[in-house]
Amino acid sequence: MNPAMPHPEMRIAPSLLSADFARLGEEVTAVIEAGADVIHFDVMDNHYVPNLTVGPLVCQAIKPYAVKNGQPVPIDVHLMVKPVDALIPMFAQAGASIISFHPEASEHIDRTIQLIKSLGVKAGLVLNPATPLSCLDHVLEQLDLVLLMSVNPGYGGQSFIEHVLPKIDAVRRRIDATGRDIWLEVDGGVKADNAQRVGSAGADTLVAGSAVFSGGRYQESIEAIRSNALAGLRSRRAQPERLPDDA
């Protein structure tokens, strides 16, 4: 059973890439108890990106731990693999709630989106820092999530790339123009001291890896990121509506 998608103002999605892999199930339980809304599951293939991580069997293994108050917590699978289509059914079967992919990894972006949705899974498109927003031109209204990378994909623990902030703003305005509930997720170098700027740019879902797991104080870290990001998002919403520009 796929979980209902949570609708808090600001969702925090701890990335298991920074968790203790020797006790991954316990780590999933711990971050959910600490306030995580979503579990972010990074898949790397040592081909599209220069790293190798985990596959569908690990996703299936953690699925029973992704529960809060008896209800499933979404598992947000980020596929950094090329080609991508063959792995999608495997992750859908393994329990993914959302599957996101990079346009560079698909021969036909629309077909890949339709494949994900045909399996009863939410579909997301991932844009790297230098990937143009034109990739969204003909598919945005089919998506459930847009993930903007604020680092170049392949490794955890990288520093946030500041020039992605205007890109977040541009995508937020595109999403708002559709009138649809499309998540705007940001992944890479997100932590408490830059979360307010990320929220102010328009993100409503933040992936955080080392910022959550490295200090051992999961609840404190999650709440610090959430509260700062919410302050930024609410400040944005309180401002007069701005005219869109050509992104």
Taking only the tens place, the pLDDT of each residue in 87-113 is: 999 999 999 999 999 999 999 999 999
Domains of the chain: 11-161+181-188+195-237 (3.20.20.70)
Whether 20 shows a pLDDT value over 70: the answer reads yes
Whether 247 shows a pLDDT value over 50: the answer reads no
Contacts of 205 (CB under 8 A, 6+ apart): 10, 11, 12, 13, 37, 38, 145, 183, 184, 185, 186
Q: What is the mean pLDDT of residues 131-138?
A: 96
Cβ burial 201-220 (10 Å sphere, 16+ → b, else e): bbbbbbbbbbbbbeeeebee
Whether 1 shows a pLDDT value over 50: the answer reads no
What's the gap between Cα 65 and its chain centre? 19
Contacts of 75 (CB under 8 A, 6+ apart): 38, 39, 41, 59, 62, 63, 66, 95, 96, 97, 98
Least confident of 24-33, 58-67, 157-166: 157-166
Hunting for tokens 């898949």 — which residue is that?
A: 43
Element (H, E) at 58: helix 56-62
CA dihedral 197, 202, 205, 208 (to 10 degrees): -20
Least confident of 157-161, 192-196, 210-214, 241-245: 241-245
pLDDT tens-digit map of 162-188: 999 999 999 999 999 999 999 999 999
Pairing relation of β-strands 205-208 and 183-187?
parallel
Q: What is the mean pLDDT of residues 124-147?
A: 97
For 116, list phi and psi in degrees, rounded to 5: -60, -50
Closest C-alpha to 206, from 36, 25, 4 = 36
What's the gap between Cα 110 and its chain centre? 20
Show which residues are catalytic. 42, 187
CB 218 within 8 A of CB 31: yes
- Ranges of beta strands (E only) in the chain are 11-14, 39-44, 67-68, 71-72, 75-80, 98-101, 122-127, 145-149, 183-187, 205-208
